A = this chain, B = another copy of it.
Amino acid sequence: MGGKNTSGRGGGRFQAPTYEEKGAGPSGAALGAFSATLRNATAGPAKIMALKQISSNKCFNGFQKVFEHDSIELKCKMKFGIYLPPKAESGKCAMLYWLSGLTCTEQNFITKAGFHQAAAEHGLIIVAPDTSPRGCNIEGEDESWDFGTGAGFYVDATEEPWKTNYRMYSYIKDELPKLINANFPTDPERMSIFGHSMGGHGALILALKNPGKYKSVSAFAPICNPIQCPWGKKAFGGYLGSDLSKWEAYDATHLVKSYPDSHLDILIDQGKDDQFLSAGQLLPDNFIAACTEQKIPVVFRLQQGYDHSYFFIATFVNDHIRHHAKYLNA
């Protein structure tokens, strides 16, 4: 049987892919590595990018897989999770990107959120990347839980020593979708994005900075106004330096003020007992006020008794997937 993940052990061992990608990408899956010729805009000529399958587990008749690849943007090996719904065996699927929060890897969402049934039913491919470059041997990268490793904040750093590797914004916006579209049965035109906390911030800014790129956006407890909160000030100061205009370019509350149209349907769930809400890290009121002023429609649900955990996410993830499916499968 060879190398299936088990509940307690497992994980991390190499195994040959068991899922046959059809309709897109090369078919050399039996060799244990996918490869695709991709043109990378920043890297110049076509490069070979190989995907190495780390794990594959059947789930709700589809497959939850994890792959590793060499990232050009981040100049390190990166892992991502991808759920291929049953529909991916016979046709192209819309994609929903999930961005995780501080300290998470690609594992948290795929093991804890309980999204697979809804994704299977709506026929959505769910992509869950890691939250930062890893193992780049940058001085200080592992000193804090809210900066460096596990805390890329979905920006392109401009400051030393971060700017060479910490390019999560471009990785999520360009490199990862190209890799996914080249290797899996996707419809590149149908893509949405959601996330949690730091990843909720990431989802909002990616949607707001790229009108039309994503069909819809949603977030759980997003960091809505990072330039005004301790987490954001630390991260943006480190990655972007002291120029406030560079900070504003990655701040959802600032970006919404210049968003060109109102065709973006935004859903936000926020636990009312979230300790990071009361600590002033999330600041949804500032974002809602800016949306209201700009007449950008946003559904904000303050959920009584819920906290910042994956138990909160699991409770409402079906609503979010339904929200996105409405646009992705329209």
Residues of A within 8 A of B (CB): 1-10, 18, 57-61, 64, 100-104, 108, 111-112, 114, 116-117, 145, 150, 196-197, 271, 273-279, 305-315
What residues of B have a CB within 8 angstroms of the CB of A4 in the complex? Answer: 273-275, 307-309
List 6 A-B pairs, minimum CB-CB distance, nearest first. A8-B103, A114-B114, A1-B275, A57-B311, A59-B311, A4-B307
Q: How far is the CA of A34 from the CA of B274 in the complex (A)?
A: 25
What residues of B have a CB within 8 angstroms of the CB of A9 in the complex? Answer: 102-103, 145
* Nearest neighbor of A101 in chain B, beta-carbon distance: B7
Contact, CB under 8 Å: A7 / B197 = yes
Contact, CB under 8 Å: B58 / A311 = yes
Contact, CB under 8 Å: B58 / A312 = yes
Closest-CB distance, A37 to chain B (whole angstroms):
31
Contact, CB under 8 Å: A64 / B311 = yes
Cβ-neighbour of A7 out of B5, B57, B104, B278 (below 8 A): B104
Q: How far is the CA of A277 from the CA of B6 in the complex (A)?
A: 12
- Known contacts A4-B273, A7-B100, then 11 further A-B pairs from the complex at CB < 8 Å, ordered by chain A residue: A1-B307, A5-B311, A7-B104, A7-B108, A7-B197, A9-B103, A18-B305, A59-B312, A59-B314, A59-B315, A111-B112
Q: Which secondary structure dominates chain A's binding surface?
A: loop
What residues of B have a CB within 8 angstroms of the CB of A273 in the complex? Answer: 1, 4, 18, 58
Contact, CB under 8 Å: A116 / B57 = no
Cβ-neighbour of A6 out of B1, B58, B276, B315 (below 8 A): B276
Name 13 A/B residue pairs within 8 A (Cβ), A-sorted: A1-B275, A1-B279, A3-B275, A4-B275, A5-B309, A5-B311, A6-B307, A7-B196, A7-B197, A18-B305, A57-B307, A59-B311, A116-B311
Cβ-neighbour of A310 out of B2, B111, B310 (below 8 A): B111
Q: How far is the CA of A247 from the CA of B123 in the complex (A)?
A: 48
* Nearest neighbor of A271 in chain B, beta-carbon distance: B58
Closest-CB distance, A34 to chain B (whole angstroms):
20
Q: How far is the CA of A327 from the CA of B40 in the complex (A)?
A: 59
Closest-CB distance, A116 to chain B (whole angstroms):
7
Closest-CB distance, A312 to chain B (whole angstroms):
7
What residues of B have a CB within 8 angstroms of the CB of A197 in the complex? Answer: 7
Q: How far is the CA of A217 from the CA of B311 in the complex (A)?
A: 26
Closest-CB distance, A143 to chain B (whole angstroms):
15
Closest-CB distance, A92 to chain B (whole angstroms):
22
Given A59-B315, A273-B58, CB of A104 within 8 Å of CB of B8: yes
Given A58-B273, A315-B60, CB of A10 within 8 Å of CB of B111: no
Cβ-neighbour of A103 out of B7, B150, B310 (below 8 A): B7
Contact, CB under 8 Å: B103 / A58 = no
What residues of B have a CB within 8 angstroms of the CB of A100 in the complex? Answer: 7
Given A7-B104, A8-B145, CB of A116 within 8 Å of CB of B58: no
Q: How far is the CA of A112 from the CA of B5 in the complex (A)?
A: 14
What residues of B have a CB within 8 angstroms of the CB of A5 in the complex? Answer: 307-309, 311
